[in-house]
Amino acid sequence: MQSYNVFCLKSVSGLCCAVPESRAVPSFLSGRNWAFSGRLSDEAEAPADFDERAATTAVRFNGFYLFETMDRRFN
């Protein structure tokens, strides 16, 4: 698993955006609506809702991966 920086939307509990550490953070995440929530660097620490295959595909097309989680670490 590659390493991701995870940002959460402040107004919607559980809505997150994962950006690979090797990529620039998209400008929409730098506003006050999103907050840095942590780093994912291996599958064992990823929330159950995080789909590595979907993340790889989304990053290839968008540069980031949006996902919803119930994991309290990212709420």
Instruction: Output the pTM of the full model.
Output: 0.92
pLDDT at 44: 83
Lateral strand order in the sheet of 15-20: 34-40, 4-9, 15-20, 65-68
pLDDT along the chain (75 residues), means of 10: 94 95 94 93 88 96 96 81
Structural domain spans, the chain: 4-70
